[in-house]
Amino acid sequence: MELKANILRIERLSLSDGKGMRTVVFFKGCPLRCAWCSTPESQSGQREVYYMKERCTGCGACIQVCPEQALRRSEKTGEIVRDHSRCKQCFQCVDACNYRAQQIYGKEMTVKEVMREIQKDEMFFFYSDGGVTLSGGDLFCQTDFAEALLEACDDACINAAAELDMFTSFENVKRIVPHLQMFYVDVKTMDPEKHKKWTGQDNACILENIRKADAICAPHSIHVRVPLVEGVNDDVENIRKTAQLCQELKNCQELEFLPYHRLGLHAYRQLGRNYQLEEHASMSRWDVYQKMGFRITKKALPTSRTDFSCIDVLKDVLPDSITAHLLEED
């Protein structure tokens, strides 16, 4: 039987997910539930319905066809409300909606179908030294498919990268990492209790897998990312401990900080879910500078990055071989 996976979407011509121009394949499914997640539509491994209220005319066609009576019209707002405890994701409401207010996150695809989309951009890969990046969600929720897709990329001589959470067995890590020319790995926080509080899982196996992957990956292929969230992991102690982890890794090339943003809020609302950090303000790079007392020097880096090699709190921790920088907002 041909392998299939639930793919959230495929984005083309990305410039922030690896070297050169990238085609990014977003997998559905993630074992973590990060409170700040910007792609909540990727968390479930299954296809799921979402509701775009701005397209809804209130015709009620979706209510009429729902076999589980999971849909109703709100008396207060007139919007369609879904009872998620009753919804079986049969997608009859999607078929009934002529205005595409009810839509589906995710599409079941084969390796050949995904490769067909990837290969549309081969010319851009050639001229920019780019390639494909597997993201999510977390590809380790669909390891068999991810491995088969990476083997297909190898056969097509397409450079491959990935964005990994590392919450999996090391056996799965060994199946994926050797295929990658580089990979990003999120280190949410070094504190195991905070990690469990804010993501729902302990970080012990994540840190262990990062250290073990260092021994089997391509040279200088590890890029550590820290999503900075005020009051969660933006304290100097956590930043220093993360930098110390990078120092341990012989193949770590950079440490990247991503200030918290609220871009996932709209997706939470479309899915009818509460956003835990809805009242949390986004962090700008200036917030980061001021809060941590960073002393910044600009260097010859891409325009979206600010060099952190002279950060006071890291200068005695990070070796010169590792670049630390802040990914600025678009």
Q: Which single residue is written with the structure tokens 């950060």?
A: 311
β-pairing verdict for 102-105 and 80-82 = unpaired
Cα(247)–Cα(319) distance, integer angstroms: 7
Q: What is the pLDDT of residue 290?
A: 63
User: Domains in the chain, ordered, with CATH?
Assistant: 4-44+107-327 (3.20.20.70), 48-105 (3.30.70.20)
Q: Rounded CA gap, 14 and 23, in Å? A: 6
Q: What is the pLDDT of residues 133-186, one digit of tens each?
A: 999 999 999 999 999 999 999 999 999 999 999 999 999 999 999 999 999 999
**Using one digit for the tens of pLDDT, what is the confidence trace for 56-94?**
999 999 999 999 999 999 988 889 999 999 999 999 999
Rounded to 5°, angle at Cα 24 from 19 and 25? 145
* Alpha carbons within 13 A on the beta-carbon side of 100: 1
Q: What is the DSSP letter of 54?
A: G
Mean pLDDT of the chain: 88
pLDDT tier for residue 325 given thresholds of 50, 70 and 90: low
Cα–Cα distances (Å) from 317 to 65, 171, 219, 325, in that order, read: 61, 31, 21, 14
* pLDDT tens, position by position, 310-321: 455 565 556 665
End-to-end CA distance of the chain: 43
Q: Token pair of 209, please? A: 């897998």
Provide the 8-state DSSP code for 44: S
Evaluate the CA torsion angle 86, 88, 92, 98 in order and state its sign: positive
Judged against a pLDDT cut of 60, whether residue 287 lies above it is answered with yes
Quick one: pLDDT at residue 302?
39
The band of 216, judged by pLDDT with boundaries at 50, 70 and 90, is very high
For 224-267, what is each residue's pLDDT tens digit?
999 989 889 988 889 889 988 988 999 998 888 888 888 889 99
Nearest to 264 by CA among 3, 18, 33, 14: 33
For position 281, what pLDDT does the model report? Answer: 83
